[in-house]
């Protein structure tokens, strides 16, 4: 083999490798373009409608801005310091937490029980499923007006019924008394959302292996034992999703409260969302309101992460 032959074979190898690399790169590029073409539409929309506003919200919270002035004054953490000293904001925050607790109590277990009961129905399952889901298709504005009438102290059906059976002492001004206003609003909110959670539970229930129940029957387990030992553990994932959704929805709830009480009377149903809305749009304190929203956003994120962390740890 002479030198010329070996050089030409080396060149050929090199060319071959080069074209192979080029081909691979082209393939990679093509793959990248394909991936991007799938991702970009969603990413662009997500950036425009979520990421940029979120980033802007955080940015505005460090300024003193009224929402329309051409210039903004940088004030650092001043808005956050003011919030920490704002009694109404802190009250609103505590109402939010109470709302979460009440929502969890009223929403999760009763909805699960309802889903189990519906899944046991032999005839007319679709009817019950559709019937119970119905409130979820109503707009929150409609739900708000409807429940305002239900809670009406003079003409509302609850008080009319209580008075008609001689329980006048139990007839309250449900949206006007500090002890009842938030629970009353949570009940209305539960009514509006339980259909959605019920459907999630029903879907989860369909995935449970029926042999487990048969085995439990053979072991002589009763319905309550089966519920706690089979149904609940098998629905762990659905439960996690539902609990996360209940927490998030409770913290960011706005429409129903705005329609039914606007945070009143006397701040008794003020939530962070209603408070920041008033601050931003009625008082032109946009930066201050944004700081309030950021605080609420952080709480929602912390809640969600902490809950998911706890869930994963307990599963492991």
Partner 1 sequence: MRDYRRLFSLALTIVMLLSLMVGCQSPTASSNDKETSKNNGSKSESATGDHGKTLNLYIPNYYNDVEKQQWAKVVEKFKELNPGVNVNVANGDVQVESGKLPTLLQSGVEPPDAILMNAGPGRVSVLSNVNLIQPLNKLYEKNNWKDQLRPFAYDLISGEKNIYELPHMVDAIGFFYNKDVFEQHGIKVPTTKDEFLKALQTLKDKGVAPITVGARNGYAIGWLFGVMLESAAGTEKVEELLYGNGKWNDPEIVKVAEMMADWVKKGYITKESVTQTQADSKFRFLSKKAAMEAEGTYLITDLVDQKLQSSVNSVMMPSFIEGKTAKPVGGIGLTWVIPTKAKDVDLAEKWFNFIVSKDYSQIVLNLPDYNFVPASKASIGIEPAGEVLKTSMKNIENGSGYNPSVFMGVEAKEAYYQNLQGLVGGLTKPKEAMDNIEAAAEKDRAEGFKLNKK
Q: Which residue of 13, 56, 66, 168 would you call a contact of partner 1, by CB under 8 A?
A: 66
Return contacts of 262-268, CB within 8 angstroms, 24+ apart.
Answer: 263/92, 265/175, 265/176, 265/181, 266/178, 267/88, 267/91, 267/92, 268/178, 268/181, 268/182
Of 110-118, 160-168, 191-199, 274-282, which part binds partner 1 (CB under 8 A)?
274-282
Could you give the CA distance from residue 108 to residue 241 in angstroms, rounded to a whole number?
11
183 binds partner 1 (CB under 8 A): no
Could you give the CA distance from residue 265 to residue 288 in angstroms, rounded to a whole number?
23
46 binds partner 1 (CB under 8 A): no
User: Do the beta carbons of residue 240 and residue 306 sit within 8 Å?
Assistant: no
CB of 278 to partner 1, least distance (A): 6
Tell me whether residue 151 or residue 201 sits nearer to partner 1 (CB atom): 151
Q: Which residue of 213, 267, 303, 307 would you call a contact of partner 1, by CB under 8 A?
A: 267
User: Do the beta carbons of residue 291 and residue 79 sit within 8 Å?
Assistant: yes
3-class SS of residue 74: strand
Residues 161-180 that bind partner 1 (CB under 8 A): 173-178
User: Do the beta carbons of residue 252 and residue 167 sit within 8 Å?
Assistant: no
Strand segments (E) across the chain: 63-64, 73-74
153 binds partner 1 (CB under 8 A): yes
23 binds partner 1 (CB under 8 A): no
Tell me whether residue 177 or residue 214 sits nearer to partner 1 (CB atom): 177
Q: Which residue of 42, 154, 218, 224 would you call a contact of partner 1, by CB under 8 A?
A: 154
Of 28-36, 146-154, 214-222, 293-301, which part binds partner 1 (CB under 8 A)?
146-154
Site string for partner 1, 208-247 (x = CB under 8 A): ----------------------------------------
Q: Does a cis peptide bond (omega within 30 degrees of 0) precede residue 200?
A: no
- Contact residues toward partner 1 (CB under 8 A) are 41, 66-69, 148, 151-154, 173-178, 261-268, 277-278, 280-285
């Amino acid at each position: 083999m002479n030198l010329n032959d070996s050089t030409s074979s080396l060149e050929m190898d090199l060319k071959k490798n080069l074209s192979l690399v080029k081909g691979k790169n082209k393939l990679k590029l093509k793959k990248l373009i394909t991936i991007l073409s799938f991702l970009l539409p969603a990413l662009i929309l997500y950036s425009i409608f979520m990421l940029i506003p979120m980033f802007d919200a955080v940015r505005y919270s460090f300024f003193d801005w009224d929402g329309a002035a051409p210039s903004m004054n940088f004030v650092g953490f001043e808005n956050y310091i003011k919030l920490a000293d704002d009694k109404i904001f802190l009250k609103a925050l505590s109402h939010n937490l109470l709302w979460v607790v009440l929502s969890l109590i009223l929403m999760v277990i009763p909805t699960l029980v309802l889903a189990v009961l519906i899944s046991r129905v032999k005839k007319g399952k679709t009817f019950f499923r559709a019937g119970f889901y119905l409130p979820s298709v109503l707009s929150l504005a409609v739900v708000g007006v409807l429940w305002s009438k239900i809670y009406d102290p003079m003409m509302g059906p609850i008080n009319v019924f209580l008075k008609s059976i001689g329980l006048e002492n139990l007839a309250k001004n449900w949206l006007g008394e500090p002890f009842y206003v938030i629970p009353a609003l949570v009940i209305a909110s539960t009514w509006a959302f339980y259909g959605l959670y019920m459907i999630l539970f029903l879907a989860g229930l369909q995935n449970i292996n029926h042999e487990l129940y048969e085995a439990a029957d053979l072991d002589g387990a009763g319905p309550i034992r089966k519920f706690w030992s089979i149904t609940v553990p098998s629905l762990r994932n659905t439960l996690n999703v539902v609990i996360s959704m209940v927490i998030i929805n409770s913290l960011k709830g706005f429409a129903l409260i705005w329609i039914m009480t606007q945070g009143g009377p006397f701040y008794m149903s003020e939530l962070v969302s209603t408070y920041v809305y008033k601050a931003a749009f009625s008082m032109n304190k946009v930066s201050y309101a944004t700081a309030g929203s950021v605080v609420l956003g952080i709480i929602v994120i912390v809640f969600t992460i902490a809950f998911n962390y706890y869930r994963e740890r307990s599963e492991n």
